[in-house]
Structure 1
Amino acid sequence: MAKFKPRDTERARALRNQVTPVERLLWRSLARGQLGAKFSRQMPVGPYFADFLCRELMLVVEIDGFSHEMRQEVDAVRTRAIEAAGYRIIRFTNADVLGNVEGVARAIQAVVREARSQAHP
């Protein structure tokens, strides 16, 4: 029998309610499977929370703001842990999203297509 691993759903819910304007902007492109995959917001992966996560494709989309520049070592540990859980991470900066949300959405869609083609050759 598989061992149940509790998730911090209360914290995830709180993070979803505290969404940043940049995350809200990108979510408009990711919601409802618009890019060919179902994404969820602020999902727990181990002790961390992914900004956007697609379980089916084991894909995490992270939006890095100013605070990430100040915490590069902490983020590197976080990245290694999420990747060790089997997820691929793609990152964009706040400036990427604010300056070209359509381009960011197209880049994510290309990764989704690539992941699907590798899963179903």
Structure 2
Amino acid sequence: MPHFEVPVRNRQNARRMRRALTEPELKFWNAVRAHRLMGLSFRRQMPIGGYIADFACAEHRLIIEIDGATHSLDKQIERDYHRDAALIALGWRVIRLTNDEVLNRMDDVCTHILKVIGIERFEEV
């Protein structure tokens, strides 16, 4: 797998974005940080291939994007499509979630992520 140097500007933007999470991003981060979701390791605002992913689980090459209302506009839908295609070409899977899904159905969101990865959510303890 090729290694890409992350441009300084992208690293700086990612740091800035980590300090300014939206409410849905913060809720998601609190649900998955520190390996809280079945031991998975997520990073927030991770630079990947010239983009900054909202959240990424490198072990499973999974990107989670949390989208607000502007992502339903035709122009943004097209941008997201091209961005997702570029990330998929780099070997990543992309899950797009709406703010509403994260704010109101976090259990369903976590279950969906685990199904995509192939982990059974409710293992016997």
Superposition TM-score, scaled by structure 1 size: 0.85
Deviations 1:63-102 (A, max 9, x none): 1111111210011111101111110111211111111112
Contact 1:57 1:115 in 2 (8 A): no
Contact 2:33 2:41 in 1 (8 A): yes
Aligned pair partner of 1:47 in 40, 46, 50: 50
- 1:100 maps onto 2:105 in alignment: yes
Q: How does 1:99-118 map to 2 (within 5 A)?
A: 99-112=104-117, 114=118
Which 5+ residue runs of structure 2 have no aligned equivalent? 121-125
- The CA RMSD measured in Å over matched residues stands at 1.9
- 1:64 maps onto 2:67 in alignment: yes
Larger mean CA deviation between 3-12 and 51-60 belongs to 3-12
Q: How does 1:82-93 map to 2 (within 5 A)?
A: 82-93=87-98
Distance across 2 between alignment mates of 1:3 and 1:32: 26
Distance 1:22 1:56, change over 3 A: same
How many residue pairs get aligned? The number is 114
Q: SS where residue 19 of structure 1 aligns? A: coil
- 1:78 maps onto 2:93 in alignment: no
Cα distance, 1:105 vs. partner? 1.6
Q: Which residue in the other structure is 2:28 paired with?
A: 26
Which 5+ residue runs of structure 1 have no aligned equivalent? 117-121
Superposition TM-score, scaled by structure 2 size: 0.82
Following TM superposition, the consecutive aligned residue runs of length 4 or more in structure 1 with deviations greater than 4 angstroms are none
Q: SS where residue 75 of structure 1 aligns? A: helix
